[in-house]
Amino acid sequence: MDLPDNIKYTEDHEWVAIDNDVVTVGITDFAQSELGDIIFVEFPEEGMTVNQKESIGTLEAVKTVADIFSPLSGYILELNESLESTPELINEDPYKDGWILKIKISNREELKSLLSNLDYKKIIK
Amino acid sequence: MSHYIPKNEKHEREILDALEIVSFEELVSIIPNQLRVKNGLLGLEKGISEHELNVYIDSLHQGEDFAKKSLCFSGGGVYDHFVPKVIDFLSSRSEFNTAYTPYQPEVSQGTLQYIYEFQSMICELSGLDISNASLYDGASALAEACSLSLAHTGNKKILISKMVNPVYIDVVKTYLKYREVEIKMLPEINGITDIQKVSNMEMNDVACIVIQSPNFYGYIENWNKYSKLLEKHKGLLVSVSDPISLSILQSPGKSNADIYVGEGQCLGNHLSYGGPNLGLFAIKENLKRKLPGRVVGMTNDMNNKKGFVLTLQTREQHIRRSRATSNICTNQGLLALRAVIYMSLLGKEGMPNLAKLCFNKAQYAAEKISKIDGFELFSDRRDFIKEFTVKTKYSSKKIYQKLEEEGFLFDCIDDNLIKFSFTEKRSKKDIDKLVESLRLYHE
């Protein structure tokens, strides 16, 4: 199971790459393998204000549907529009081309609640 | 009867040869002479339709009782259209005779194929992109359309024209009772929704506008005008329409409506004392993730052969669970089958011809009824197809009581409003009989 150490994780099986006040969000390798083939991503609207742990969209696999939770508070800065036509990027490359959205965060305090790769590894054991 | 039995002399010869007899006469010689129908005694005319034949034969064997049988001028969504025998025959075949979409659906390719054809026909009729496999009835289909609009827009206000079938409005209210939704009725003027007043309303927070055409009073509404009102807003236009009338109207798709719902009972299904009915539901493609009900798609299997599957199942409650926007995972399979047989029998020309036939009968009746003292048309509008509303100085309930005794069924809308509906089954003689009864009516 691939768990890069230069990014953070959440209990909801998402990863967060931090670049100052902008974070990129995706789902972990573990999450994509559990869900199976992702066939559709239901995005939130760009510019929408979001709260930490709030459901902001869904991922549809063939036999199940999972929520996308906002890992941090802020507003939606950008969506990975290539997922509209090729949602399978999430399965093929969850940490790079399969990123889902970017959030401009409003509360840096919340960063402390994120997990390291080792902490996350304990959860999925 | 030879006109109704598809055989020719060659076939007859083959049958007689197989039976090793020389003539038809020899075949029936066992029937005593006095019990036989003599040549011409049935008095059948050449070239009459299946419906005319049924009426005639019924009148022979039911005698006086037949004359007392009800003449149905009742409508409002459920109509006494003619149902060809072939529909009863085909839909009762054991391969088809179930109301359910099967639980292991892909095994039943025949079932999935007829549902796929049904969806294709409803798309063509409505001018929209995607139809589901049908819902329970027109009323619950409308409630689902409102529910979809709420989920799609995130808005909480629904505008429904007062001229939508009141039964449908009741069902919508029941459905949404605990959803904290504001349902606002749109006013009426001269038999149609008052577009002038609606134009002045705030559209920002609207989930959908619901307009029925022909509306409950029978008149045609202009969906285009309402879609324009919503152009710059999130709200959806929900169009409600009788599918037979729809075959001669500009389609919801062309009128830029987002959703079409209708009652499909009139497509080859019997009145059956009020049910079961058949809900029709079609949408623009952008709404497909929120479409309620089952959907059949066509695809290729691993050997590249054409096949049918249930598709987009992630919308449905068995997968989406609490996040599902609809909890309907079934359809009216048997009635949809009957509808698809009916529409394929009538075809592209038959459906509009049927609507025109109803139109002509309704217009003829309106002309006559409007001239009776004590009765006048609700509006000077003549843009109705199957049914129209009549204002009367008498009590509609009392008229109903009297006319029901005489064998007529129709609809009471209000204390002084009654409605008559006309299908191809009502002959000129039937209409004249109704007109005469109204003429003789006094309180």
Q: Mind listing the pLDDT tens digit for each residue in B347-377?
A: 999 999 999 999 999 999 999 999 999 999 9
pLDDT score of B66: 62
pLDDT score of B41: 60
Which of B320, B340, B360 is the endpoint of a domain? B340
Residues B359 and B333 in one domain: no
> If interface means Cβ-Cβ distance under 8 Å, which residues of chain B face chain A?
289, 314, 319-321, 323
Q: Which residue of B has its CA nearest to A66?
A: B320
In a domain, B54, yes or no: no
In a domain, A117, yes or no: no
Residues B310 and B399 in one domain: no
Residues B133 and B247 in one domain: yes
Residues B95 and B118 in one domain: yes
Beta carbon pairs, A and B, within 8 Å = 17
Q: Is there a contact between A65 and B314 if contact means CB atoms under 8 Å apart?
A: yes
Q: Is there a contact between B319 and A65 if contact means CB atoms under 8 Å apart?
A: yes
In a domain, A113, yes or no: no
pLDDT in tens, B44-79: 777 888 888 888 888 777 766 665 677 999 999 999
pLDDT at residue B285 tops 80: yes
CA distances from B336 to B86, B91, B121 (A): 15, 10, 11
Q: Is there a contact between B319 and A64 if contact means CB atoms under 8 Å apart?
A: yes
**Residue A94: is the preceding peptide bond cis (ω within 30°)?**
no
What's the whole-number mean pLDDT along residues B384-399? 97
In a domain, B57, yes or no: no
Say if residues B97 and B110 touch (Cβ distance below 8 Å): no
Residues in B touching A43 (Cβ below 8 Å) = none
A49-58, B5-14, B132-141: range with lowest mean pLDDT: B5-14
In a domain, B60, yes or no: no
Q: Identify the residue among A60, A62, A67 best suited for mutation to test binding to B, counting B beta carbons within 10 A and taking the highest.
A: A60
Torsion sign across C-alpha atoms B92, B426, B264, B179: negative
Q: Rounded to whole angstroms, how far apart are CA atoms A100 and B80?
A: 55
pLDDT at residue B104 tops 70: yes
Q: Is there a contact between A42 and B289 if contact means CB atoms under 8 Å apart?
A: yes
The DSSP line for B184-248 is: EEEPEETTEE-HHHHHTS--TTEEEEEEESS-TTSBPP-HHHHHHHTTTSS-EEEEE--HHHHTT
Q: How confident is the model at residue B167 (pLDDT cuts 50, 70, 90)?
A: very high
Residues in B touching A58 (Cβ below 8 Å) = 323
Q: Which residues contact B402 (CB under 8 A, 6 or more apart)?
A: B441
pLDDT score of B230: 97
What's the whole-number mean pLDDT along residues B251-276? 94
- What CATH number does the domain containing B417 carry? 3.90.1150.10
For residues B23 and B41, the model is more confident at: B23
Which of B305, B340, B375 is the endpoint of a domain? B340
Say if residues B283 and B252 touch (Cβ distance below 8 Å): no
What's the whole-number mean pLDDT along residues A77-99? 96
What's the whole-number mean pLDDT along residues A63-90? 95
Q: Please state whether beta strands A74-79 and A49-50 pair in parallel, antiparallel, or not at all (unpaired).
A: antiparallel
pLDDT score of B8: 83
How far from chain centre, in Å, is Cα A25? 4
pLDDT in tens, B120-146: 999 999 999 999 999 999 999 999 999
- What CATH number does the domain containing B249 carry? 3.40.640.10
Residues B406 and B276 in one domain: no
- What does the block give as tokens for B168? 């449908």
HSE-CB at A35 with a 13 A cutoff on CA atoms is 31
pLDDT score of B64: 62
Domain that holds residue A52: 8-107
Q: Which residue of B has its CA nearest to A63?
A: B319
- To the nearest whole Å, the CA of A19 is away from the closest chain B CA by 32
pLDDT score of B175: 95
What's the whole-number mean pLDDT along residues A113-118? 95
Residues B217 and B109 in one domain: yes
Residues B213 and B177 in one domain: yes
CA distances from B4 to B26, B82, B92 (A): 22, 17, 22
What's the whole-number mean pLDDT along residues A16-40? 96
In a domain, A1, yes or no: no
pLDDT in tens, B177-195: 999 999 999 999 999 999 9
pLDDT above 70 as % of chain B: 96
Helices (H), B49-154: 50-62, 64-68, 85-91, 109-126, 138-153
In a domain, B94, yes or no: yes
For the entire predicted model, the pTM comes to 0.87
pLDDT at residue B39 tops 80: no
Say if residues B433 and B407 touch (Cβ distance below 8 Å): no
pLDDT score of B58: 80
Residues B353 and B335 in one domain: no
Residues B261 and B315 in one domain: yes
Phi and psi for B176 in degrees, rounded to 5? -100, 10
pLDDT score of B55: 83
Number of domains in chain B: 3
Residues in A touching B154 (Cβ below 8 Å) = none
In a domain, B61, yes or no: no
In a domain, A115, yes or no: no
- What CATH number does the domain containing A15 carry? 2.40.50.100
Which of B316, B340, B364 is the endpoint of a domain? B340
Number of domains in chain A: 1
Residues in A touching B319 (Cβ below 8 Å) = 63-65
pLDDT at residue B42 tops 80: no
Residues B281 and B138 in one domain: yes
Residues in A touching B323 (Cβ below 8 Å) = 58, 65, 67
Q: Rounded to whole angstroms, how far apart are CA atoms B106 and B308?
A: 7
Domain that holds residue B175: 86-340
pLDDT at residue B317 tops 90: no
Residues B274 and B163 in one domain: yes
A13-17, A53-57, B100-104, B186-190: range with lowest mean pLDDT: B100-104
For residues B331 and A87, the model is more confident at: A87
A42 touching chain B per CB within 8 A: yes
How far from chain centre, in Å, is Cα B235? 27
CA distances from B157 to B119, B145, B162 (A): 30, 13, 16
Q: Reduced to 3 states, what is the DSSP secondary structure of residue B317? A: helix
Q: Rounded to whole angstroms, how far apart are CA atoms B125 and B246?
A: 7
Say if residues B238 and B261 touch (Cβ distance below 8 Å): yes
Q: How confident is the model at residue B1 (pLDDT cuts 50, 70, 90)?
A: very low
Residues B359 and B257 in one domain: no
